[in-house]
């Protein structure tokens, strides 16, 4: 384990908590570093809170790539429905080439799935990652900064709850997410 989260731009835990929408009175103290708070959450067994926190601490691209790895690995082990598979394929295409057309295709793929499955949540994270969420040709509407992270974390959580041991699945996701925080997207190289 390294000491630095080189991929994370936020340095204070309060910055991450503010992005998460945590009330100012409930945020960590000013002198608590971003990684320090994550370590405290994780070591006290608050895996779900650590997952939310890390998803918001990571830059959007890294958070989405993290979720895509988790969802993709789960799909390889247990193939999803055809619509869910399409949403995952569109999400992976966007990660390879993050264009506006691929972002909008991810939004359409997410909308085609009626249940909040991991693949829908992942595709939604991409749609809300930047650019207007309004219809093409309409006045632009930019999504709030935290929305993509919430969907990415939701996708990871959905995969964790598919299997039998969700605590172990979340722990594995946290380990991968921490490596991404330390090394960036290079942590995903196989």
Residue length, the chain? 190
Q: Give the residue among 148, 177, 183, 147 at the shortest CA–CA distance from 48.
A: 177
Give domain limits for the chain: 60-162
- Has residue 15 got a pLDDT over 60? yes
Mean pLDDT for the chain?
Answer: 95
**Contacting residues for 127 by C-beta, under 8 A, at least 6 apart:** 103, 104, 106, 107, 110, 133
- Has residue 108 got a pLDDT over 80? yes
- Has residue 2 got a pLDDT over 70? no
Residue 82 CB: number of other CB atoms within 10 A?
A: 8
**Mind listing the pLDDT tens digit for each residue in 81-101?**
999 999 999 999 999 999 999
Give the pLDDT score at 163: 74
**1 falls in which pLDDT band (50, 70, 90)?**
very low
Separation of alpha carbons 53 and 34, rounded Å:
9
Is the whole-model pTM more than 0.85?
yes
Q: What is the DSSP string of 50-76?
A: HHHHHHHHS-HHHHHHHHHHHHHHHHH
Q: Which residue has the higher pLDDT, 24 or 1?
A: 24
Give the pLDDT score at 3: 62
- Has residue 164 got a pLDDT over 90? no
Overall average pLDDT of the 30-35 stretch: 94
- Has residue 147 got a pLDDT over 90? yes
């Amino acid at each position: 384990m390294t000491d630095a989260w080189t991929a994370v731009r936020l340095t204070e835990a309060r910055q991450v908590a503010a992005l998460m929408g945590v009330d100012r009175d409930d945020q960590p103290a000013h002198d608590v570093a971003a990684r320090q708070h994550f370590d405290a959450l994780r070591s006290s067994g608050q895996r779900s809170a650590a997952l939310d926190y890390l998803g918001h601490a990571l830059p959007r691209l890294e958070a989405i790539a993290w979720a895509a790895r988790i969802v993709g690995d789960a799909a390889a082990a247990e193939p999803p429905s055809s619509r869910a598979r399409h949403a995952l394929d569109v999400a992976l295409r966007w990660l390879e080439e993050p264009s506006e057309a691929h972002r909008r295709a991810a939004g359409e793929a997410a909308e085609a799935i009626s249940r909040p499955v991991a693949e829908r949540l992942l595709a939604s994270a991409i749609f809300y990652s930047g650019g207007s969420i309004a219809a093409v040709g309409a006045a632009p509407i930019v999504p709030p900064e935290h929305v993509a992270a919430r969907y990415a974390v939701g996708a990871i959580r959905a995969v964790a709850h598919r299997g039998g041991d969700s605590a172990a699945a979340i722990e594995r996701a946290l380990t991968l997410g921490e490596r991404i925080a330390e090394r960036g997207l290079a942590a995903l190289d196989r």
